[in-house]
Chain A
Amino acid sequence: MTGPKEHKVKSLAELPQALEPARDLWPGIEAALKTQVPAAGTGLSPARVRLGQLRWFAAAAMVASVAVGVWIGRDLVPLSGPAPSVAQATAPRVTPAQGANAVDAAFVSDPRYARQRAELLQSLQTRLDAMPEPARAKVTASLATIETAKKDLESALGKDPSNALLQELLINTYQDEMRALTDVHEASDPGRGI
């Protein structure tokens, strides 16, 4: 067995539940999954399944964004009060009713948003490097989820540019991203925590 064995324990509950196998088992599992019939069997049309999937992507991005805030709030900023949010200040508020070009109007041509995002991304790696390893891993995973959601939604919108629901989901995901980046930025601010 692997795991920390050099120390003593006073209870069986102190033994580690998780143990690491000697090798990565995922490649074997992945190969087996490819030979399986897909797990889905919903009876829905492909378009509805795809839309449902995209909703979940957006929901995952939202959860990831909240999780970044929770992790940072719990692990890094024990005494943070309500602070002005860069995300709230710069992330555009657009509704689907604003039309098919809402996404372009909101995100591509808003120089304040673009500038703010570029600055946050530029300093992201430095901020992540300053975090403790567990928090960094969680934040990185959350940001990756948000990025995946964005790419999928953008790809879906490329095929159906006038879809108001997709526009709304994408806008929400952009806001989630900005909120997560802001949380990372503010958590590593010298005046606020780590």
Chain B
Amino acid sequence: MQAQSQENRIEWEGALVQRAVAGDTRAFERLYREHSGRVYGLCLRMTRDAQLAEDCTQDTFINAWKALKQFETRSSLSTWLHRIAVNVSLGKRRKATPVLEAQPEDEDGTLGGWTFETPVEVRELEGAIGDLPDGARDALVLHALYGYSHGEAAQMLGIAEGTCKAQLHRARKLLRERLNLEVN
């Protein structure tokens, strides 16, 4: 049932994309309504600024509209939109502050499921994530919150996979310090 539902969803989105490619803004609005929450969530976590995140979300969908004919309907629209959102967010953020890229460190890549020994308040956790340095936060958000692999997150961010792992290592260390607990 799950697989069938997923298949239906892909077909349904594919149909909407085709209509949008033909110029149907109502179909595109349906796609926006479906995906805007996750796109905005990603932009907000990357920019830490609600106004900037709103701008990034709007730009993401405007850029998506312009490039929609290049989208392969059998692939994930969500991932495609997230790639655009990451690019837009990085671009807007670079205008404000330069990002220092961390150097790769020794890292086995086994960061596990990012679970905590003791439950953490969502507000506290979001605050701690927001306080992370940009590079570490980007890698953490894409990998631990949105479930992208190291390779996918690295590709989206335009960094080497080793650098992405190092950023995750750094993020975990900083989170552990800021939350004063163990991150498995």
Contact = CB atoms under 8 A, between A and B. Distances in A.
Contacts of B29: 26, 30
Contact of A1 (B24, B120, B126): B126
Nearest to B36: A25
Given A18-B38, A59-B15, A12 B145 contact: yes
Interface in A110-143: 141
Contact size range, A: 35 or more
B104 interface: no
A149 to B, nearest CB: 10
A6 B32 contact: no
A13 interface: yes
Contacts of A10: 115-116, 119-120
B1 interface: yes
A117 B114 CA distance: 53
Interface string A8-35: 1111110111111111011011101110
A32 B115 contact: no
Nearest to B70: A39
Interface string B116-129: 10011111011000
Interface stretch (B61-69, B86-94, B159-167): B61-69
A29 B62 CA distance: 6
A42 B23 CA distance: 11
B72 interface: no
A17 B5 contact: no
Given A12-B114, A38-B23, A74-B1, 14 more contacts: A5-B122, A7-B122, A9-B122, A13-B114, A22-B50, A26-B36, A29-B32, A32-B62, A36-B65, A39-B65, A41-B69, A42-B21, A53-B24, A63-B8
Interface of A: 1, 3-13, 15-23, 25-26, 28-30, 32-34, 36, 38-42, 49, 52-53, 56-57, 59-60, 63-64, 66-67, 70, 73-74, 141, 148
Interface of B: 1, 4-5, 8, 11-12, 15-16, 18-26, 28-30, 32-33, 36-38, 40-42, 44, 50, 53-54, 57-58, 61-62, 65-69, 113-116, 119-123, 125-126, 130, 140, 144-147
What 10 pairs across the A-B complex have the smallest Cβ distances? A18-B37, A8-B119, A19-B41, A12-B114, A60-B15, A5-B123, A12-B144, A38-B23, A5-B122, A11-B115
